[in-house]
Amino acid sequence: MNAVLFAVSVVSLVIWVVLLFARGGFWRTRPPAFLPAGQLEALTEWPAVVAIVPARNEADVIGQAIGTLLVQEYAGDFHVIVVDDHSTDGTADAARAAALALGRPERLTVIEAAALPAGWSGKVWAQSQGIAAVKSLGLAAQYLLLTDADIGHPPDAVAQLVARATAEGRDLVSLMVRLRCDSFWEKALIPAFVFFFAKLYPFAWVNDPRNKTAAAAGGCMLVRRDALEEAGGIESIRAELIDDCSLAARIKHRGGGRHPIRLDVAARSVSLRPYDSPREIWNMIARTAFTQLRYSPWLLAGTLVGMALIYLAPPVIALVRGAPGWPAWLAWAAMCCAYAPMLRYYGRSPYWAPALPLVALFYVGATLASAVRYWRGKGGQWKARVQAPVQDR
């Protein structure tokens, strides 16, 4: 038995060495450098941008989110379209009220989404309605800012995104906004959400046109309009629940080539949505975790085994075996070192790092729950909609 535990701990250690040194430096967490005001002012041409904001029952946060868009300090044409996706809580009125309070009603258009057609996810359908409105309203738009109704942007957000896209020739520039991390459960569980995402999609690989890895964060995506059209338009991802990464893949790989996109963690763009209870975070994960695994029970089994080997085995073996379990101790230490930069990004103490195995156990449970929901016909549930495809029987 001791030999088996030792072998498992060695395998875990080897995996962590590979993750640290051969996984695109996913654990490095650095927001992009700000472009200085002087450099922004030196740009002579600012392309027109239209922000598309799908919103479904977001009355509690949309006023604040839209307010940050309406006061953008952008030298080019900029307009905001909110697509009210059959809200029942006064979302549209809250958006209009925010525009009136700021004296910027001319910068905002609110439209109502048509009935959701079969084969479309709710958010992507709402985005398609907003993109169609750009044309029907006669708005100039070389870029589209696809953002959510619960995201707060700094005043120079659009300028920074456009300047980076044009300076680097990127077809898509996306920011993983800083999720709220105020309550106990947010402090305990939220940093790991971004950590696991970055491990799955190392940002350095995403940003390298030579690498096939593609990903984006749906809360903030600036996309060149003609690149989106070349990729088949938003309708090309009509059924996708993980719409952001699907769109990034379409943009990066369109025409069989490799086109430049960029994904970073945000320095100042933030999510306004609170996650004050573990259930809320559980549901956030369970909504799409099994979708990420392509609804495959085999990938689910492999994920569960992999998570146990990578995150759970090191602390268990280390505590059971003591000094003879030194590979497990080293694996646990490597895990803590990898997690520390993400904790620092979220303003958390590195002393939280040894608890990552418990956090991973929570995520494993939510992933399993995601599969169970799918098998029960309730996959992809969000805002009272079940959006995952019906499983074959």
Helix (H), strand (E) at residue 305? helix 297-307
Q: How far is CA 261 from CA 124, 223, 361, in A?
A: 20, 9, 33
Residue 39: what pLDDT? 64
Q: Are 126 and 54 in contact (CB under 8 A)?
A: yes
Half-sphere exposure of 38 (CA within 13 A, CB side): 0
Q: What CATH number labels 37-276? A: 3.90.550.10
Cβ contact 49:74 at 8 Å: yes
pLDDT of residue 393: 41
- Give the type of residue at 352: W
> Residue 210: its pLDDT value, please?
93
pLDDT at 130: 96
Q: In what order do the strands lie in the sheet with 172-178?
A: 108-112, 78-84, 49-55, 143-147, 220-224, 172-178, 261-271, 151-152
- One-letter amino acid of 283: N
Q: What is the pLDDT of residue 256?
A: 86
Q: What is the mean pLDDT of each run of 10 residues along the chain (393 residues)?
A: 89 97 94 72 83 96 96 95 94 96 95 92 94 93 96 95 93 96 95 97 96 96 96 94 94 92 95 93 92 93 96 95 92 97 96 96 96 85 64 51
- How many CA atoms, within 13 angstroms, populate the side-chain half-sphere of residue 43? 19
Domain boundaries, the chain: 2-26+279-375, 37-276
CA gap 134, 129 in Å, rounded: 9
Task: Spell out the SS3 assignment of 179-223.
Answer: CCCCCHHHHHHHHHHHHHHHHHCCHHHHCCCCCCCCCCCCCEEEE
* Contacts for 191 with CB less than 8 Å, ≥ 6 apart: 181, 339, 342, 343, 345, 346, 348, 352
